[in-house]
Amino acid sequence: MNRGLLAKLSAMLIGVAAIVGAGCTRRPANAPGNASSSMAAPAPPGSAPGDSGVYGFSGARVPDSDPQGVIGECIWIYDAANRNQVAKGDCIESAPGRFRVRLKPGRYVVRGPGGSKPIEVKPGGWIRIMSIVALPMAP
């Protein structure tokens, strides 16, 4: 990507992060995925038996490019009524866009750049979330 496009993408990601609730910055990531989606998946590496929660990728993409991950707060977990925040996911600089949040079994709404998604966490289960917003190509 050229510097002008990176600057515009960075500004758009900061705007998206402000809309969903926190300031984030853009960092490139070689992460697969399209629009916001979730699926049941095996426990991510480093999980203890009996743990449960959500993990995945949070970021943005422009047409014909890999997704760009964010750093800082990157995903937010709300109660089933989508009213009260119960947890948040942080994406660190060494793994932009990647998060893992332990949750007790139950129903939640996950909010991220790709939108909101209701989920149900089962005992000992992990749900993979790909929350990626599609941004228009800069002129």
CATH code at position 116: 2.60.40
Q: How many C-beta atoms lie closer than 10 Å to residue 21's C-beta?
A: 14
Name the pTM for this structure.
0.67
Find the DSSP H helices in the chain. 3-20
Total domains in the fold of the chain:
1
Which residue range(s) make up the domain with 21? Answer: 3-134
Flag whether 139 is in a domain.
Answer: no
Q: What is the pLDDT of residues 44-79, one digit of tens each?
A: 655 566 699 999 999 999 888 899 999 999 999 999
Flag whether 52 is in a domain.
Answer: yes
- DSSP codes joined into one string, 84-109: SEEEEEEE-TTSTTEEEEE--SEEEE
For the record, the structure tokens of 107 come out as: 């129903």
Flag whether 9 is in a domain.
Answer: yes
Q: What is the pLDDT of residues 5-36, one digit of tens each?
A: 444 444 444 444 433 333 333 333 343 333 34
Flag whether 40 is in a domain.
Answer: yes
